[in-house]
Chains A and B, each alone.
Chain A
Amino acid sequence: MKSLAELAAIREKMQGKVVLREGSGDIRVVVGMATCGIAAGARPVLSAFVEEINNRDLAGKVTVSQTGCIGICQFEPVVEIYEADKEKVTYVKMTPDKAKEVIEKHIIGGKVIDEYTVSNI
């Protein structure tokens, strides 16, 4: 069984890393989590982003946050990617698989996946 002692071990392990996270947030992934987003499947999309960002060791560079209704409910789940000095990219009709692809090609590779963006609808 999971115990609080395990959590204490995580604390020991993480304490050094916390400092590294201070300057984080070069790239911001924002997932729409209003009723429309949740009903359309935003929860597994958000989980996929959080998980994959950790798997690829991007936590220091990429933050994942949640927002309310972005205003294009028919295209939910909607994900916005903000990057300093770049134009915001809005991905629509997202799935956990597409989320992994966005991390691979856009966040790591630096190339926007045009076919998933709102401008391509």
Chain B
Amino acid sequence: MKELSLNILDIAQNSIKAGADTISVILTETQDTLTICITDNGCGMKPDFLEAVTNPFTTTRTTRKVGLGIPLFKLAAEQTDGSLTITSKHESDFPVDHGTVVTAVFRTQHMDFTPLGDIASTLTILIQGSPDIHWIYTHTTPWGDVSLDTQELKAVLGDVPLDTFEVIAWISEYIKEQYSVFNK
């Protein structure tokens, strides 16, 4: 993957497939680290699947016996001397508070750090593809913050769907403008 925002798009697809109705993508940056935390309230994973999930030969897909989404994200983190951790609660054991949290830590000054890239595209594609999910995005940095919460947008939009082109285009600009304020 050429951009971390592509990994985020990929990992969030797992949350969608897990049946989550709320997915948050929280980025926290310091001078030399970036932590990406993707949290969902989907069905979760059972302990044995969770244990095997960073193995490329573990997958839920039926078309092929390999799944590279999490291994690639892990690689991107570890190649910067960072880390990837996943915690999950399966709905069979946790009927109320089930879900998965994927946390990746990156060292941003490391030579092999992959840039975040076009996060606005990732967010608009996720929202366009799953407008009924409550999406929360925040990116906190020492230079400024960016945030988006589709619930707030829905409150303004009423019955106009989130995946209306004009709304998607607005979201894209909204994100880009917030970044432009403090872009280094």
Q: What is A's interface to B at a CB cutoff of 8 Å? A: 1-2, 4, 6-8, 10-11, 13-15, 18, 21, 33-36, 38-39, 43-44, 46-47, 50-51, 53-54, 59, 64-66, 68-71, 73
Does A14 lie within 8 Å of B166, measured CB to CB?
yes
Segment with Cβ contacts to A, from B37-45, B82-90, B156-164 = B156-164
Q: Which residue of A lies closest to B6 (CB)?
A: A38
Is B174 part of the binding interface, using a Cβ–Cβ cutoff of 8 Å?
yes
A43 to B118, CA, bound (A): 10
Is B1 part of the binding interface, using a Cβ–Cβ cutoff of 8 Å?
yes
Among B6, B17, B125, B128, the most chain A Cβ lie within 10 Å of the Cβ of B125
Is B57 part of the binding interface, using a Cβ–Cβ cutoff of 8 Å?
no
A64 to B10, CA, bound (A): 18
A70 to B153, CA, bound (A): 33
- The minimal Cβ–Cβ distance linking A93 to chain B, given in whole angstroms, is 17
Residues of B within 8 A of A8 (CB): 156
Does B166 lie within 8 Å of A68, measured CB to CB?
no
Does A10 lie within 8 Å of B63, measured CB to CB?
no
A38 to B61, CA, bound (A): 15
- The minimal Cβ–Cβ distance linking A90 to chain B, given in whole angstroms, is 14
Q: What is B's interface to A at a CB cutoff of 8 Å? A: 1, 6, 9-10, 13, 17, 61, 63-64, 67-69, 72, 118, 121-122, 124-125, 128-129, 152-153, 156-161, 164-170, 173-174, 177
Does B170 lie within 8 Å of A6, measured CB to CB?
yes
Does A47 lie within 8 Å of B121, measured CB to CB?
yes
Apart from A13-B166, A35-B67, A39-B1, what are 15 other A-B pairs with CB-CB below 8 Å?
Answer: A7-B170, A10-B157, A10-B166, A11-B160, A14-B164, A15-B160, A33-B9, A35-B68, A38-B1, A50-B168, A53-B165, A54-B165, A54-B169, A65-B129, A69-B61
Residues of B within 8 A of A21 (CB): 161
Does A73 lie within 8 Å of B64, measured CB to CB?
yes
Residues of B within 8 A of A71 (CB): 63-64
Residues of A within 8 A of B61 (CB): 34, 68-69
Known: A38-B10, A50-B168, A73-B64. A66 touches B129 (CB 8 A): yes
Does B69 lie within 8 Å of A68, measured CB to CB?
no
- The minimal Cβ–Cβ distance linking B173 to chain A, given in whole angstroms, is 5
Known: A4-B152, A10-B167, A69-B61. A43 touches B121 (CB 8 A): yes
A69 to B177, CA, bound (A): 33
In-complex Cβ contact of B72 among A35, A65, A68 (8 A): A35
Does B170 lie within 8 Å of A2, measured CB to CB?
yes
Residues of B within 8 A of A33 (CB): 9, 13, 125, 129
Residues of A within 8 A of B159 (CB): 15, 18
A71 to B66, CA, bound (A): 11
